[in-house]
């Protein structure tokens, strides 16, 4: 008798990706945290005892809220020079030290979690968090250096659409968002899906010049103009939608 082919494929643990917002609010510049080898996102209800005499000694709990965290491990990394620390890992370390030295609010960061293949799997989240713990796991002579951290959620966790599901560029912020009417000011454009950008427009006018720094960062020279215009990025996937985040004001 012929065997029946399997009709399922088990999901791989490595499919999830974590991005960290390394910009200063209200700008936003998410960059991938690389080197992760263990990842455990956790959402839990926050409860308290709610039993009464009517429960005859049996435990009853009531949900009073929720909490979330991401426990992960990554390989501590440098650049090819062996000295320069991976920039996102170094950023997380700085934020951890800031939370320890002053207040957790000074160490807050934006965190995004999603499937790296663009699928909708229920793990598409975004929220604010701080680095609650930082520990070296592997430090023997023959070990590569492993780091364990906990990203503790601060406030609500929002369900998002997987940012890789649609590769149309998105502009999430400008710095600066104002410039001279004569043009020529360099503007940092933040967002996602910028790789392969073929055009950057300030209103109907093309940027004097632009450089794609990364998938989430473009530097463009503003052309001459007046009033408030929308900064739009165009790639093979389309043009970014007009939102309040892309408004550029000539002064």
pLDDT in tens, 57-111: 999 999 999 999 999 999 999 988 888 999 999 999 999 999 999 999 999 999 9
Dist. CA 92–CA 99, nearest whole Å: 11
Dist. CA 130–CA 66, nearest whole Å: 16
Each residue's pLDDT tens digit, 180-229: 999 999 999 998 889 899 999 999 999 989 999 988 899 999 999 999 99
- Is the pLDDT at 5 greater than 70, yes or no? no
- Rounded to 5°, the CA angle 165-18-213 comes to 75
pLDDT computed for residue 246 by the predictor: 94
Beta-bridge mates of residue 126: 112, 158
H-helix or E-strand spanning residue 91: helix 87-101
Name the least confident of 36-40, 114-118, 180-184: 114-118
- Is the pLDDT at 10 greater than 90, yes or no? no
Strands 30-32 and 36-49: unpaired
Nearest C-alpha neighbor of 202 from the set 215, 219, 221: 221
Residue 180 has a CB neighbour count (10 Å cut-off) of 12
Please spell the DSSP secondary structure of 146-164, one letter per residue.
EEEEEEEEEEEEEE---TT
pLDDT computed for residue 27 by the predictor: 81
C-alpha dist (Å) from residue 64 to 35, 45, 69, 138, 217: 36, 8, 17, 38, 40
| Predicted TM-score of the model (pTM) | 0.68
Strands 178-179 and 247-250: parallel
Say how far residue 118 (Cα) sits from the centre of its chain: 15
| 59 neighbors 49 (Cβ within 8 angstroms) | yes
Please spell the DSSP secondary structure of 228-242, one letter per residue.
EEEEEEEETTEEPPP
Task: Using a pLDDT cut of 90, give the percent of the chain over it.
Answer: 75
Domains of the chain are 13-159 (2.40.30), 170-250 (2.60.40.10)
Q: Compute the mean pLDDT over every residue in the chain, rounded to the nearest whole number.
A: 92
Nearest C-alpha neighbor of 183 from the set 218, 211, 212, 208: 208
pLDDT computed for residue 101 by the predictor: 94
């Amino acid at each position: 008798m012929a065997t029946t082919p399997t009709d399922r494929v088990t999901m791989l643990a490595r499919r999830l990706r974590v991005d960290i917002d390394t910009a200063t609010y209200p700008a936003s510049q998410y960059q991938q945290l690389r080197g992760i080898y263990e990842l455990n996102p956790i959402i839990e209800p926050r409860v308290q005892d709610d039993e009464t005499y009517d429960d005859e000694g049996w435990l009853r709990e009531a949900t009073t809220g929720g909490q979330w965290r991401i426990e992960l491990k990554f390989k501590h990394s440098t650049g090819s020079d062996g000295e320069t620390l991976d920039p996102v890992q170094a950023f997380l370390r700085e934020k951890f030290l800031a939370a320890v030295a002053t207040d957790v609010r000074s160490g807050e960061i934006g965190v995004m979690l999603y499937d790296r293949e663009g699928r909708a799997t229920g793990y598409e989240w975004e929220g604010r968090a701080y680095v609650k713990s930082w520990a070296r796991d592997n430090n023997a002579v023959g070990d590569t250096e492993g780091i364990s951290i906990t990203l503790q959620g601060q406030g609500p966790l929002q369900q998002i659409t997987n940012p890789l599901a649609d590769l149309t560029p998105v502009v999430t912020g400008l710095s600066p968002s104002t410039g001279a009417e004569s043009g020529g000011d360099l503007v940092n454009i933040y967002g996602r899906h910028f790789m392969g950008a073929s055009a950057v427009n300030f209103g109907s006018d093309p940027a004097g010049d632009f450089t794609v720094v990364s998938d989430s960062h473009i530097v463009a020279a503003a052309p001459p103009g007046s009033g408030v215009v929308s900064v739009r990025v165009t790639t093979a996937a389309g043009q970014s939608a007009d939102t309040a985040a892309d408004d550029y004001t000539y002064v």
